[in-house]
Amino acid sequence: MPASAIRKLVPFSEAAEAAGVKVYHLNVGAPDIKSPDCATQAVSARCNGMHHLSYTHSAGLIDLRRGMVEKYYRKLGLDIETSQLLITVGGSEAFASAMQIAAGQGDEIIVVEPFYTNYQTYAFLNGITLKAVHSDIREGFRVPDISEFEKILTPATRAVLLSNPCNPSGKLFTKEEMLAIGDFCRRHDLFLICDEVYREFCYTDEPYFSALQIPGCEQNVIIVDSVSKRYNLCGARIGCIISRNQEVMACALKYAQARLCPPVLGQYAAIGALDTPDSYFQEVREEYIRRRDCAVEALNAMPGVYSPMPYGAFYTVAELPVDSAENFAKWLLTDFRMDNETLMITPAASFYKTPGAGLKHARIAYVLEVPQLRRAMNLLATALSEYDKCLKK
């Protein structure tokens, strides 16, 4: 199983913190936004006087499935039925299951790089090979022409897998890009697995275009979703898999039965979260726009640094003027200090399949409040200048 550059850094960050150094964590997508009160209160209410905590249906509580369909997806204009949705253990189980449904040992799945590294983990565990279409930082990570997809298509290709908005790049796929990919999948009879867990975090005036809205792709599309980011309930471990393809849902249910049921207390939180007012999302969105603008402006003001403007999620990928983003990220934790503070970033090479790609790229999660984020950016600017001097010595 491939080693994870991200995980390799954790001991260094723990050592720095144990030594009393303040570490600004721009490395993980673990935001500090408050969860809606209706979510946590729903759990308390259920636990008060509870007799025992039994299994639910393997597909999840019907109140949650129906509630998501009627109170959440319908509001977005996404017309699905309860039978087309199954509750999973976070988005993680949803895409693991989707990948297993779409492909088996020896099969191939096309991803757009940079991509979420855990896709690689589940591919490895299932003997699936990921083949990458390259999207370039200098082109704002726009999706390349479909001819690039055609080039790596083989008889073993079973699916295209992408996250929109994209973790790690923050890229928001355009409607045209989604239609082109949908057309490619339909023509070649491939599944289109679309991880939409950052759907609420879009910073354009265009309405979000879901893979569920691609005409004629009803049998191809498998949606991965989660309440983790939407309501900042990452720890609830509640996600879902959605498809209008009945065979896909039958297969998802079989897999789900093997693990009995999704976490029930998390399901209670998710049911409560369905009553989250629209104002919550507006406020969160405005907050992230402030953070994004702060981070991206600061990054591009640093000599030799380039970050395109991300229009979704809460990440950006920046090119750094360093020999290796991995070495630099480690050095930040082991050597660099300013007033006993430093920061942690994610080297981005593991988000790429193409050898040598992304070696100087880092993913920055703008998950701190603006004053803290500004401080972290100051640290980064100083660190880059010091690192440059160290290298030249």
> Where do contacts with a copy of itself occur on this chain (CB under 8 A)?
1, 4, 7, 28, 30-35, 39-41, 43-44, 47-48, 50-56, 89-90, 92-93, 96, 100, 105, 118, 121-122, 125, 127, 232-237, 251, 254-255, 257-266, 268-269
Residue 224 main-chain phi, psi, to 5 deg: -105, 125
Q: Which is nearer to a copy of itself, 39 or 110 (CB)?
A: 39
Who contacts 363 (Cβ-Cβ below 8 Å, separation ≥6)? 27, 168, 315, 316, 317, 345, 346, 348, 351
Residue 334 main-chain phi, psi, to 5 deg: -95, -30
Q: With b meaning 16 or more CB within 10 Å and e meaning fewer, what string describes 311-327? A: bbbbbbbbbbbbeebbe
Q: Which is nearer to a copy of itself, 177 or 225 (CB)?
A: 225
Pairing of strands 22-25, 341-344: parallel
The CB-of-235 to a copy of itself minimum distance in angstroms stands at: 3
Alpha-carbon dihedral 181, 187, 190, 192, rounded to 10 degrees = 30
The CB-of-33 to a copy of itself minimum distance in angstroms stands at: 6
The CB-of-232 to a copy of itself minimum distance in angstroms stands at: 4
The CB-of-187 to a copy of itself minimum distance in angstroms stands at: 29
Q: Which is nearer to a copy of itself, 77 or 124 (CB)?
A: 124
Query: Residue 147 is encoded by which pair of tokens?
Result: 């001819």
Report the chain's C-alpha Rg in angstroms. Answer: 21
Q: Which is nearer to a copy of itself, 14 or 189 (CB)?
A: 14
**Helix, strand, coil fractions of the chain, as percent rounded to 5:** 45, 15, 40
Q: Which is nearer to a copy of itself, 41 or 204 (CB)?
A: 41
The CB-of-79 to a copy of itself minimum distance in angstroms stands at: 26
* Coil, helix or strand at residue 32: coil
Q: Which is nearer to a copy of itself, 28 or 370 (CB)?
A: 28
| Dihedral over Cα of 125, 126, 129, 131: its sign | negative
The CB-of-375 to a copy of itself minimum distance in angstroms stands at: 21
Q: Which is nearer to a copy of itself, 143 or 240 (CB)?
A: 240
The CB-of-229 to a copy of itself minimum distance in angstroms stands at: 11
